[in-house]
Amino acid sequence: MTSMKDTWKELEKELPQRKIQTLKENTKGMKAAEKRKFLEEKLEEYRKSKVEPGEPVGLLAAQAVGERATQMVLRTFHIAGLTGELSVPQGMPRLKELLEVRHQPKMETCKIQIKKELNGNKEKVKEIARDMEEVTLEEVADVQEDFNEKRIIINFNEKKMKKQNLKPEEVAAKIKDKLRKKPEKVEDDQAIFKPKASTLKSLRRYTQKAKTARVKGIKGIKRATIVERKQGNKKTYEIHTDGTNLRNILKLPEVNSKETYSNSIREVQGVLGIEAARKVLHLEIQENLKAQNITINDRHIMLISDAMTRKGELNAIGRHGISGEKESVLANASFETQMRHLLTAAQKGETDPLKGVAERMIVGEVIPVGTGSVELRMSNQKQKKK
């Protein structure tokens, strides 16, 4: 029987360091015999789960996702909150958004965690959510244009201003930044601006700028919904937003920046880097599949996420991304727009090295996976005995 020290040495030779650390944490407090048996079982599991040389992992991942994607339906998942509901697209539409890494997905949302000392205070969380919501001038005031005097008259709505906890001076300062013009007059119920506008068209342009000026909240956060969570007997609250602006949300002192999450892959890449984007992409695909009661081995999803981020930037799966970057003419032609690829290749005199699976199948060659990934030669001549 091997000693515990020898068992750990054997594990350290084969397992990644992160797995070793996890095993050490999970075996704390175990008896020696129980611990040895547990570690031996985990080592055997790891050995069985390793991929054989030549295994077509890309094809398996594509088949695993593609087959189950045919079972997906158009479904919307509602996040119920205390102040309303947010609807996030799920099913096939969301999967397409993720794999194509679209610049403008249908619904971007941010799940904001509040710091522990505040997340149990419902009223405080409500206040934080209210302050996050983007408020434009036309939501709290009536904006009119006086062409005779070439000025913009803003009549504040007292009730709406009070509800948003806004003061006329604060609003006037925001409009000043937008129009780059100081107000002529600011009163409790009115503010007047006189921009340099000689024509009705230019005055109207300034009026439209004033209407859309953000006077409160974070840009892009259309609505903030409070979601209640239960942790034993304790209730905690988090904020889910319609729209996302991760960079500015993380700056808020009340926000737990380590646990706040945005479902916008491109935004996460811009704020936190490509590794964070890869992780979010992986989690979003997996969560979307789970919402449809579809189970796929996590390794397939990880492989897809790695392939889409391996160059240090997000790369879609499709003819405008990974599939369109192949060197092989026949592989590109087998995917989409066959005639265009073949004609272009013929005009340019391109050659195909026939290294991949698709192109070799087209010409009837052995594909470079499984037993086709090695070359064995058998000599017909008998070896001479020395």
Question: What is the pLDDT of the chain when averaged over all its residues?
Answer: 86
The Cα 207–Cα 142 span in angstroms is 11
**Band (341; pLDDT cuts 50, 70, 90):** confident
Predicted pLDDT at 278: 95
Domain range annotation of the chain: 4-49, 135-216
Give me the residue label for tokens 């930044």. 177
Token pair of 238, please?
Answer: 């988090």
Sign, Cα dihedral of 183, 185, 187, 191: negative
Query: Which of 361, 373, 307 lies closest to 334, judged by CA?
Result: 361
Lowest mean pLDDT across 52-56, 239-243, 309-313, 325-329 = 325-329
Q: Given a cut of 70, is residue 29 above it in pLDDT?
A: yes
What is the average per-residue pLDDT within 322-348?
82
Query: Which of 158, 157, 140 lies closest to 212, judged by CA?
Result: 140
The Cα 83–Cα 239 span in angstroms is 10
Task: Tell me 113's DSSP state.
Answer: P
Q: What is the pLDDT of residues 217-251, one digit of tens each?
A: 999 999 999 998 887 788 899 999 999 999 999 99
Predicted pLDDT at 90: 79
Predicted pLDDT at 75: 59
Q: Given a cut of 60, is residue 78 above it in pLDDT?
A: no
The Cα 144–Cα 9 span in angstroms is 78
Q: What is the pLDDT of residues 44-58, one digit of tens each?
A: 888 888 888 888 888
Predicted pLDDT at 256: 93
The Cα 182–Cα 186 span in angstroms is 10
Alpha carbons within 13 angstroms on the beta-carbon side of residue 328 total: 19
The Cα 77–Cα 191 span in angstroms is 44
Write the class of the CATH domain 135-216.
Answer: alpha beta
Predicted pLDDT at 30: 85
Q: Given a cut of 90, is residue 262 above it in pLDDT?
A: yes
Lowest mean pLDDT across 43-52, 204-213, 235-244, 320-329 = 320-329
What is the average per-residue pLDDT within 141-170?
89
Predicted pLDDT at 300: 92
**Band (383; pLDDT cuts 50, 70, 90):** low
Q: Given a cut of 60, is residue 1 above it in pLDDT?
A: no
pTM for the structure as a whole: 0.78
Predicted pLDDT at 156: 92
